[in-house]
Amino acid sequence: MKPIPVNKRWLEARENHPEGMPPAPPPIPVEVVVLAMPVLEARYEGTCPACGRAIQPGMPITRHAQRTRRWVHLECREAPLQHNSLPARYEGFCRACRQPIQVGEMITDDPARGWIHLRCAQHPAAPALNAQAEILANLLSEILELEDDIELGDDEDAG
């Protein structure tokens, strides 16, 4: 087997610094400042999620100020986003109202909950959850009334 040749540069660096390797240079602080989102020319057709108008190839577009994954017209950068909706192609489950999503129902992509009914996105309080909360509140009040009746009955038996 052939011996490994001596690394002359390593030996020179070691001779120049007998106490060890030279100290690393101080880190250079780097600060990245993004003043504005880049403005590009649209390459594809689409619909602006803020104004609902068409985006044609060649139009100036940029990322939305709050939802940076959405491309909008340059003038719509600060405008509030509308709920983009489309008919459901598959059956699913709405995470807002906890009801099934049927094929053909209008759905929208919610940033926090995923795909939900369009009606659930337009009304923050889901109707099915309100109905469930009302049922639970009625049951709780009935239980408390029964508990009061039982306590009153115990007092009558003791007296």
Gap between the Cα atoms of 75 and 82, Å rounded: 15
pLDDT score of 152 more than 70: no
Which pTM does this prediction carry?
A: 0.39
Structural domain boundaries in the chain: 39-82, 83-150
Residue 126 has pLDDT above 50, yes or no: no
Residues whose CB falls within 8 Å of the CB of residue 42, separated by 6 or more in sequence, listed in order = 55, 56, 57, 58, 59, 60, 61, 71
The string of DSSP codes covering 121-148 is: HHSSS-HHHHHHHHHHHHHHHHHHHHHH
User: So what's the pLDDT on residue 40?
Assistant: 92
- pLDDT tens by residue, 50-91: 887 889 999 999 988 876 678 899 998 888 877 677 788 889
According to the model, what pLDDT value does residue 100 have?
Answer: 92
